[in-house]
Structure 1
């Protein structure tokens, strides 16, 4: 379903108003100092606003939102550096349950995801030498770098069954060993270990999970593109304001032509990121090869763009740009994290290059590389 423009506009206005009123830099700093590392109050508010149910079908209390609507929420996550598990639970976890779960599983868990009483995380990458194996309802192995795995109530895990096929299973937080830690931007993550953990197979036995996982990872990449756009937009606003008030030799440093040119470059990065994020959102409904080419091309470029914008913002702020007390340093950390989550820039550039090089071969639709 394509979310209509009025709904997207209302969602954007609501997200911007709420985060401006309740999630400024000082309030976020207080959340970072708390044990869980996210705001339970904000999570309840997201549920009350219906943000956690965006992906649900209309007959299950959602609006069947497309990638553009999800992108609006992720823009706010980037522009205000939100710490809650929107990507891990509301985008990835909910999407996998919708696509792969049985009717009974959807009925049991989707309402609880929508009201915020359950938070999901997605564990996909295998720890070296400890790939997960699911057999007879039990899971063994380990996963590393699980975003928000430290606060998840349940974890969706990719594993191999006894036939060697990829499956998805769901594990309760109490049935695994969790080593939680903080990412560089302050959000939580975990290394998980499964020692014969009870694990419920997601969906029906024998149903392949590779396609669902591939699409979920592309959806995560597209969501991160929107989040990066939010980061760059905020950096442009913050840095432009700083150049107007910071004075040197009796006049604002923004009168320096070199800094003006750098601000123009940052603004161009912002607009390029916005266009590529939109193209990636539209590409999710394309055939597989085209989808992967466009999504990976956008993800690779935007990963570099957000790092460059963050670097420029820090440099134009001078020594203040790296201090804990200034918001620019926290945007820089979020930029680094975005660039490494769910397939970093190098991985997506490699996939984009492969599709671009094979686009003109017989049997392939001709595509123009970005």
Structure 2
């Protein structure tokens, strides 16, 4: 499959490519990751100025109406440049949930500041022992006047140290594993009795363990409708993560091919050795298969096709395994240099490893793909 992009999508892609080429090379990215904040507010503002933060949202809420396919274009380029800024967390996850589940008042209150790059958001849904299950929630929320009061803990909340607001899943009724009774809440990240223990992830981003003790939150969407909203959002974010992974895989292939043309062993370039040529052909095939599947998934998401959730699991599994295989080969073919911090190869390896465990690893999604009804 090879998508024929519209004129607007081609313009978006070329604009992102130009911006990242000029402002986000590997050295610039390393400085951003090493900074105290771990990401660049200035760069985030540049994304907003270019319209990237508005691109996926509908025109009705102040966006550009690009939808899923604009996210795919952006994330593929972000994957090529290892962008650390929280586009997935703020735009795809939080912004998508607000647009999908929020009231008109909430959309008008929250989305303009997200689109303008003024506020950063994160989604707090993972808990210890939940093992990628959106319905396994022990954090509780009880009604208190017009608001709710949340108590519990969330683990590995990506971008939480950068966030101004969190969307938190919490149980308002039923058992910890039940689909019903889970709701979503908007919480000010600086609210009283909300505590963060921040840490750096293997791919250079920031995350946190978050605890709530009688923290006030505002209900987002209907009471007890959180799992359904999160499931729809998961499919969209898998499409975005797969696009990012494909961008990273493409860069690994290009870097490895270029290295094979210059690195010499036994008086010849390693690219002239037939056994290594076969391995690089396998890497190329893995990238092309991943690219085709990623595009198929995002086109299906854009069209709202039936069975897209099963397709999302299939893509997450297949692209996850392909990414890990290509990353392994790239590191090995670069030899000892592939393990150094100064070379970008290891950083792509780490990012692909992180993508693989977000919202379910390849093994989890392979089993989920086998269980789901193809017609569902």
Q: CA deviation at 1:250?
A: 2.8
Equivalent of 1:152 in 129, 154, 163: 163
Match of 1:349 in 2: 366
Q: CA deviation at 1:33?
A: 1.0
TM-score, normalisation: structure 2 = 0.91
- CA deviations over 1:291-327 (Å, ceiling 9, x no partner): 1211111110000000000000001000110011111
Q: Unaligned 5+ residue runs, structure 1?
A: 366-370
Conservation of the 8 A alpha-carbon contact between 2:313 and 2:366? yes
Match of 2:211 in 1: 193
Superposition pairs of residues 1-370 of structure 1, within 5 angstroms: 5-128=6-129, 131-136=138-143, 137-162=148-173, 165-175=181-191, 176-204=194-222, 206=223, 208-284=225-301, 285-286=303-304, 290-355=307-372, 358-359=373-374
TM-score, normalisation: structure 1 = 0.92
CA–CA separation in structure 1 for the residues paired with 2:297 and 2:173 = 36
Conservation of the 8 A alpha-carbon contact between 2:161 and 2:198? yes
Q: CA deviation at 1:209?
A: 2.5
Q: CA deviation at 1:260?
A: 1.1
CA–CA separation in structure 2 for the residues paired with 1:117 and 1:66 = 21
Conservation of the 8 A alpha-carbon contact between 2:56 and 2:68? no
SS of 1:171 mapped into structure 2: strand
Q: CA deviation at 1:17?
A: 1.1
CA–CA separation in structure 2 for the residues paired with 1:159 and 1:307 = 34
Match of 2:133 in 1: none
- CA deviations over 1:38-91 (Å, ceiling 9, x no partner): 111110000001111122221433122222210111111211000100110011
**Compared with structure 1, are the counterparts of its residues 344 and 109 closer, same or farther at alpha carbon in structure 2 (3 Å cutoff)?**
same
Conservation of the 8 A alpha-carbon contact between 1:311 and 1:332? yes
Conservation of the 8 A alpha-carbon contact between 1:292 and 1:351? no
Conservation of the 8 A alpha-carbon contact between 1:168 and 1:202? yes
Q: Unaligned 5+ residue runs, structure 2?
A: 131-136, 175-179
CA–CA separation in structure 2 for the residues paired with 1:133 and 1:311 = 42
Conservation of the 8 A alpha-carbon contact between 1:133 and 1:141? yes
Corresponding residue pairs, total: 356
- CA deviations over 1:92-148 (Å, ceiling 9, x no partner): 110000011111111111110001111110111223498211112110001111111
Q: CA deviation at 1:231?
A: 0.5
CA–CA separation in structure 1 for the residues paired with 2:186 and 2:262 = 52
Q: CA deviation at 1:252?
A: 1.6
**Compared with structure 1, are the counterparts of its residues 59 and 196 closer, same or farther at alpha carbon in structure 2 (3 Å cutoff)?**
same
**Compared with structure 1, are the counterparts of its residues 3 and 212 closer, same or farther at alpha carbon in structure 2 (3 Å cutoff)?**
farther
Q: How much is the aligned-residue C-alpha RMSD, in angstroms?
A: 1.9
Instruction: Judge which range, 235-244 or 163-172, deviates more.
Output: 163-172
- CA deviations over 1:216-269 (Å, ceiling 9, x no partner): 111111111101100101001111111111122332211111111111111111
